[in-house]
Amino acid sequence: MLSILLTSAFLVACNSEKSGDTAATSVRLHAEGTAIVDAEGQPIVLRGAALGGWLFHENWITGVDYPAHGRLHVLGVARGLQAEVDAALQVAGPNEKGDPEWLDAFAAELSTTTDAVTIEALLADFALYPPIVDDSDLPLRRVLENRFGVEGRDGVLDAFESGWITEDDVRWIADQGFNVVRVPMGWRALTSQSDFESPSDLAWNEAAFSRLDDLLRWCADVGIWAVLDIQEAPGGQNEYNGETSTLYEDPAMQDLTVALWEKLSRRYREHDEVAAYSLLAEPMSAPSADARDALYDRIVKAIRAVGDDHLLVIHDGFRGMPTLPDPAALGWEGVVYSTHLFEWSAESEEDYEGLASFYATLFASTQEQQGVPYYIGSFSTFVDADWAYRGAADLVEMFEDNAWSWTVWTYKRIDDPIDAALWGTSTSWGVRGRLVSDFDRPDLYLDDEETLLRKMAAYETVTLDPNADLVEALFPRRR
């Protein structure tokens, strides 16, 4: 099982200061006005973490394969040029995608220590392995399918999924005082398609549903809820995978998206440990608010038609919470309105304080008009610095003052050990992100299938210590 290295003092502190609103496994949540409430009408604030990288793969989170600078480091090691390549990378700086201008700058720096023929050969090798970065679910699946076929692809990914999130993880999350996990899922994870762009139907991947069943059982066992979240629907509600979104212009993709939710609803409508369904995370590709809401309306009505009364999370697509519709005008009941807050421009705690004040005023006014609960489905601070953690605490205080539910992005993230070695970098992205064990990194291009299966399964034993500063920021009222 996933090793958990915590000091006793930290563990005792977290267990003795648990947040309230611990779930009972038999409690179905519903909405009353602007509050999420339990069966007795008692208000519940959901406080949790998102299971990023699990059923929608993002290798900047998981450390599967390499960004451009990491691949060059690996190739440098293989060619006996580690010192020269690393020195050039330190000057050129990190680059995930291997942009041409950056490659030119890297090659120019490397030329101060290495001859042109060797550099040309190194870059030719690099071109054989296009970086798989960022929201890497689609390119990762393509590489695996091209190498091992559909069955091999799904076997490798199932090995990863079995190790990345385990029962120990869910128990740890509950022990800290979180009472919910958000579960981002891509449609490809739930199916066994080989036509990645325009499927004609959805052939279900029962192994993935079994993983999801296990997760919900673990949640029920420890008394927390789960929010089931579609991170990418057929056709794509955003373009994070580098493909043009077709969801809002293609009726066939809309039909498949509705069918996906009908499948999920029929399977989980009796599960009280499911707090809510998040219907479409970050639908940025909707051409208008009306188009966004029209598809939401189809999904809402399809779920209600099968007798499912779970809360339904409606995301604003970053158009702003005031753009979300009057739910009564559409006949929506049991909906929760949501956005994600990622403050890339914040450079000080004062910046965060100003943002928290702005959001508190805007959202409170809008929520009163809409009359629904609010849920900040993703937020984080990015910089591993005291001021950033204080800023995150300011955001959480704002959520708590307004009784808005929240989940931090993300539960686990492996800070890249190559980045740490080259530039000494660290981030605050993961609630657990401090790598303290060996990490045998999967290489999607060069590892054979047996090796990949072994390395993916080994995620279960990768030890990630908690980021104590972030945990403290998420529960500032403990202090």
Strand partners, 49: 181, 408
CB 166 within 8 A of CB 461: no
Q: Is residue 421 part of a domain?
A: yes
**What CATH code is carried by the domain that includes residue 55?**
3.20.20.80
- 403 Rama sector, left if φ>0, alpha if ψ -120 to 50, beta otherwise: left
Same domain? 115 vs 244? no
Q: Is residue 2 part of a domain?
A: no
Same domain? 75 vs 185? no
**Average pLDDT per 10 consecutive residues for the chain, totaling 479 residues:** 35 38 69 97 97 96 97 98 98 97 98 98 97 90 97 97 98 96 97 88 95 98 98 94 91 97 98 98 97 98 98 98 98 98 90 92 96 97 94 95 97 96 94 95 98 98 96 79
Structural domain harbouring 322: 8-64+134-478
b/e string for 67-89 if b means 16 or more Cβ within 10 A? Answer: bbbbbbbbbbeeeebeebbbbbb
CA separation, residue 18 to residues 49, 376, 439 (Å): 15, 21, 31
Same domain? 217 vs 263? yes
Rounded Cα–Cα distance for residues 463 and 447 (Å)? 22
Q: What is the pLDDT of residue 35?
A: 98
Helix axes of 386-401 and 349-370: crossing angle, nearest 10 degrees: 20
**Strand ranges (E), 241-386:** 274-278, 311-315, 335-342, 374-380
Same domain? 75 vs 195? no
Three-state secondary-structure class, residue 180: strand
Same domain? 226 vs 370? yes
**Domain boundary at 127, 155, 172, which?**
127
Q: Is 134 exposed, middle or buried (0-12, 13-18, 19+ CB in 10 A)?
A: middle
Tokens at 299, concatenated: 């999904």
Same domain? 244 vs 364? yes
Rounded Cα–Cα distance for residues 381 and 23 (Å)? 27
Same domain? 258 vs 370? yes
Q: Is residue 161 part of a domain?
A: yes
End-to-end, the C-alpha distance of the chain in Å comes to 32
Same domain? 218 vs 231? yes
Q: Is residue 368 part of a domain?
A: yes
Q: Is residue 1 part of a domain?
A: no
- 458 Rama sector, left if φ>0, alpha if ψ -120 to 50, beta otherwise: alpha
CB 2 within 8 A of CB 169: yes
Rounded Cα–Cα distance for residues 397 and 385 (Å)? 19
CB 138 within 8 A of CB 243: yes
Q: How many domains does the chain have?
A: 2
Rounded Cα–Cα distance for residues 85 and 17 (Å)? 48
Q: Is residue 107 part of a domain?
A: yes
**Domain boundary at 127, 146, 162, which?**
127
Q: What is the pLDDT of residue 410?
A: 96
Residue 281 CA from chain centroid, whole number? 10
Amino acid letter for position 397: E
Q: Is residue 277 part of a domain?
A: yes
Q: Is residue 3 part of a domain?
A: no
Rounded Cα–Cα distance for residues 44 and 37 (Å)? 5
Same domain? 162 vs 300? yes
Contacts of 141 (CB under 8 A, 6+ apart): 57, 153, 157, 188, 196
**Domain boundary at 127, 147, 177, which?**
127
Same domain? 90 vs 206? no
Q: What is the pLDDT of residue 9?
A: 33
Torsion of CA 429, 433, 439, 440, to 10 degrees: -30
Same domain? 27 vs 174? yes
Same domain? 46 vs 73? no
